[in-house]
Each structure stands twice: as structure tokens, then as C-alpha cells.
Chain A
Amino acid sequence: MVSARFSDQLVALLPRLRRFARGLSGSAAEADDLVQAACERALAREHQFQEGTRFDSWMFRIVQTIWIDQIRARDVRKEEGEIAEERQGSDEPVRRVEARLALAEVRRAVEHLPPDQRATLMLVTVDGLSYKEAAEVAQVPVGTIMSRLARARAALQLQLGAGAGLRGSAKDAEAH
């Protein structure tokens, strides 16, 4: 029996979970599937949530774990190639319009980041988690979070072409 309080917390968190999942998957439909799977898993494992700890971090970890499981289960290279082809083929008119929008460009740039950097960027930069909290979600050391963030931001800087002063540092970051 799921407690009403637990469900209420979960419902309240849905917009942020959807945003996080959107950043990970790059697709609205896939993101919602991911969130739905995470909700189902959370309800099944309600007893594992420790009161007094952050509920949002716990849910982000579930979303990220499911997402990682999914991309590991695929033949990643093949899958990404297929997805890219499908998108270009079916959504070309929409894509052309979107290409004019700076924010769509940003989302595409985020999609091109490696999965671990993308997840870290979403947790810290978009969702405002501290490095320590993000490290707990990703189950890596804080130093790794810092490193992933620096690489992600440097890569975005290069792709988006913003902030000339960063270009040097972006190259340096890539080299590490």
C-alpha cells in the first residue's frame, strides 16, 4: 500500500523529473516513458527511501539508473545512428524552424555531450543540486562531478560559440 504522502511528494516532483529526463534522453516521449518507469520503480521500493534524506535526489538517482540501464542494454552506437537518421528524416521541417531558435540549439548541444556529463550538467546547472548531492545521485566522488561539469561546460562553450574568453579553457578542458 503506497502512502498518500509518498505519492504526493512524487506528484509534486513530476515537473522536475520530466525536465531532468528530457535533458538525459533529448526526447519528450522518451523522457516521459523514463519518468513513468521511475515512478513505478519508486512506488515498488518506497520502503527503501530513508526519511530525512532528500526525496528529489533519491528520485533523480532512480531516473538516472533506469536511463543508464537502457543505454547499456542497447547497442549504443547503432541506436544513436538510427535515432539521428530517423530524426533528420521525419522531422526535417520542424528541425529547420527549431534551428533558428537559440534554445533549441542549446538542447541539441547538450544532447551531444557524453551521458555522464549530460546527467551532471542537468543535476547541477539545471536542477541546482550541490556537488555533494549530485555526487550522491551519480554515486561518484565530488571531484568527478567537478571534472564532468568543467568538461561539459567547455564542450558547450565550443559548440555554442559563446564567450570568446572561454575558448582557450575549453580546449584545455578537452585535453584532460
Chain B
Amino acid sequence: MQKRIDDTLIAYLDGELDADERRLVEEWLQSDPAAQERMAGLAATASLVRSAYDDVLNEPVPERLIAAARGATAGGAEIVPFKAKAKPGIGVARRWLGLPAAAALAGLLVGGGAGYYGGGFLGGSPQKAIETVADNNWLDNAAGDYKLLVSAGDTAMIDVPATGDTREALQKISQTLPQVRLPNLKPWGLNFHGARLVVLQGRPAAQLVYTTDNKAIGPLGLIIGSSKQPDLQPTFGRRQDVNLLYWRHQGRSYVLAGQTDIGYLWGIANDVAWQLDAI
């Protein structure tokens, strides 16, 4: 019996119950302090386990692994440093190294630290990737949207709460911005918290909000809007003490905003781009 109860609580925590089952568990929790305590213990353990391994995501990826993933060979287990200078013409993987270094030189980055720059959706020269600050008011707006969200706290600014069923939130968002899909960032320790409808560059956009218990990482905002401007490769920016990573792809704008390490943002942006086919 006890095992069955634990199975139910764990499935609830893991988001594996349907809406009816969730409602039943929530009613039960409200009326049973022992169950609440048990649930709190389970949640605390799960959170501890996630935190125990989160640092791995922020570690630089050894070059030998990047080489292995590219089907190349590399000697030893050399670690890719944050500000390593890329030599010209040494392949796609190395182009990732150039951008953060160049961006840092341009004064666009603050508090970078070591991060993941393994490879992915970047192409072209670092210089092209750094957009000038001129006529970038919309980036200030994106940073402002993020700060507004943080200062408002918890759910005050949320238009569409997650309510445990991300599909429901997704449907509501999609009415405003067709075909927006919801990136799953749980592997990064981020849970979908809800969405806001905002305006980006004069057009309606969805700001997806992700939260985590780890204050060093979250909350995180991902704005997805439409755009008539040409594609832009992922570019770092910093406005109003908010780190931004933004790009455009096939008529859609993406802005990832947060106060976390830029390397962490970079890894998440790469994952988002893959999930949404936004590369």
C-alpha cells in the first residue's frame, strides 16, 4: 500500500498523471498533512539529485569529445577554454570558440565564465555575429520584459499558467502566434512556468517563462515572435544587467533572456534551436 502511495506521489511529481489523476492527488494532499510531508521529502530529494549534476552542463566540453562527435580524432583530453582563440579555417566546431571571445572583446558580455561552446548552429565570422547596438531598442524591450517578470515575482505577470499541463498552455499561445511549440528545458533543470503575451518589434510575441530552484540559473525567459527581417545568427547582448542571446530564422525572432552565465544560455539556446528546428 505504502509503495503504491509513493508511486503515485512520484508520478505526480514527474508530471506523469493525467488531469483527473492530478486533481485527485491535489485534493488528497490538501487534506492529508502526512502526505504533504512525504511529498515535500520526495520533491526535495529530486531537486537535490538534479542540482548535484547540473554543474556538468556548465563545464567546458573536452575537445576530444567534440572531435569524436564530428567524426574526427583528437589527441588527449584537452579542455576547451572559455576564451580560447580560434585559428582560422579549422572547422565548424572551432567557430564556436571565436564568437564568445570576440563578443567579450566588444564589451557585450559580462560575467561569462566557462561554458559550453561545443558547436552547433553558428556559421560565418564572429564579426558578423556581433550586431551593433544601434537601433536595437527592441533588445532593451526584451530585457525590460524579463526584468518586469522577475520583479513582479512568481505568477503575477503570467497570462497563461502552465497548470501542470503544458499542452493546454501551448494551445492558448498558439492562438496568438500560430505553430509555436513549447521547448522542453527540463533536461537543463528548468520547468515551464507559464507564458506571457508581449510585443516585440511591433508584433505579438510569446514570452515563455521557465523557472528553477537554482537562483543562479533561473528564471529564464524565451521570447518567440515573428519578423520580416533577414535571418541573423545567434548573437550575445547585454541590456539592463540582463544577458540576452538572440537570433532570427525564417521569419521568426528568438530572444533568450536571463541573468545566468552566458555559457549556460548558449547551451540552452542551442537546444531550443534544435527542438524548434530554428537553425
A: number of interface residues (CB 8 Å): 57
The one of A22, A43, A156 in contact with B56, judged by C-beta atoms closer than 8 angstroms, is A22
Residues of A contacting B: mostly: helix
Let me know if B121 and A157 touch, CB within 8 A: no
Q: Which residues of B contact A23 (CB under 8 A)?
A: 53
The contact of A173 among B6, B46, B68, by CB within 8 Å, is: B6
Give chain A nearest CB distance to B119 CB in angstroms. Answer: 4
Q: Which residue of B lies closest to A122 (CB)?
A: B53
Docked Cα-Cα span, A7 to B71, in Å, equals: 8
Segment of A61-69, A70-78, A80-88, A124-132 in the binding face = A124-132
- B172: interface (CB < 8 Å): no
Asked if B218 is at the interface of the complex by the 8 Å CB criterion, the answer is: no
Chain B positions within 8 Å of A95 at CB level: none
Q: How far is the CA of A124 from the CA of B13 in the complex (A)?
A: 11
Which of B21-29, B33-41, B151-159, B243-251 participates in binding chain A? B33-41
Determine the distance from Cα of A131 to Cα of B53 in the docked complex, in whole angstroms.
20
Chain A positions within 8 Å of B77 at CB level:
29, 32
Complex interface: chain A residues within 8 A of B14 (CB): 124-125, 130-131, 149
Q: Is A103 an interface residue (CB 8 A)?
A: yes
Contact for A106 among B48, B64, B270, CB less than 8 A: B48
- Chain B interface size, as a band, is 35 or more
A109 to chain B, nearest CB (A): 9
Q: Is B187 an interface residue when CB atoms closer than 8 A count as contact?
A: yes
- Tell yes or no: B262 within 8 A of A by CB: no
Considering the complex, give the chain A residue whose CB is closest to the CB of B16. Answer: A131
> What is the distance, in angstroms, from A142's C-beta to the closest C-beta of chain B?
9
Residues of chain A within 8 A of B86, CB atoms compared = none
Residue pair B71, A36 in contact (C-beta under 8 Å): no
Q: A12-B119, A169-B2 are in contact. List 18 more A-B contacts (CB 8 A).
A: A7-B69, A11-B93, A12-B120, A12-B270, A15-B56, A35-B68, A43-B69, A102-B48, A106-B52, A130-B14, A130-B15, A149-B14, A154-B6, A160-B45, A163-B40, A163-B45, A166-B42, A172-B3
Chain B residues within 8 Å of A15, by CB: 56-57, 59, 61, 116, 118, 267
Which residues in A have their C-beta under 8 angstroms from that of B64? 32, 36
The A106-129 residues at the B interface (CB cut-off 8 A) are 106-107, 110, 121-122, 124-128
Chain B residues within 8 Å of A153, by CB: 6, 10, 42, 45-46
Instruction: Assess whether B10 is in contact with A150, with CB atoms less than 8 Å apart.
Output: yes
Q: Are B274 and A12 in contact (CB under 8 A)?
A: yes
A39: interface (CB < 8 Å): yes
Query: A42: nearest residue on chain B (CB-CB)?
Result: B69
A97 at the interface (CB under 8 A from B): no
Contact present for B119 and A163 (CB under 8 Å): no
A residues in contact with B46, CB < 8 Å = 125, 153
Provide the bound-state CA to CA distance between A39 and B52, in Å: 24
Q: CB distance B44 to A162 under 8 Å?
A: yes
Whether B49 pairs with A32 at a CB distance below 8 angstroms is no
- Listed A/B pairs (29) with beta-carbon separation below 8 Å: A2-B71, A8-B279, A11-B70, A11-B118, A11-B119, A12-B271, A15-B118, A15-B267, A16-B187, A18-B59, A18-B61, A18-B65, A29-B77, A36-B68, A43-B68, A56-B187, A103-B48, A106-B52, A125-B50, A128-B184, A150-B7, A156-B45, A160-B45, A160-B48, A162-B45, A163-B42, A163-B44, A166-B41, A166-B45
User: Could you say which residues of chain A place their CB within 8 Å of the CB of B34?
Assistant: 165
Nearest CB of chain B from residue A46's CB, rounded to whole Å: 9
The 4 closest A-B pairs by CB, nearest first: A163-B41, A128-B186, A165-B37, A11-B119
Contact, CB under 8 Å: B271 / A35: no
| B92 contacts the other chain (CB 8 A) | yes
Chain B, Cβ-Cβ closest to A156: B45
Report the Cα distance A35→B57, complex, angstroms.
14
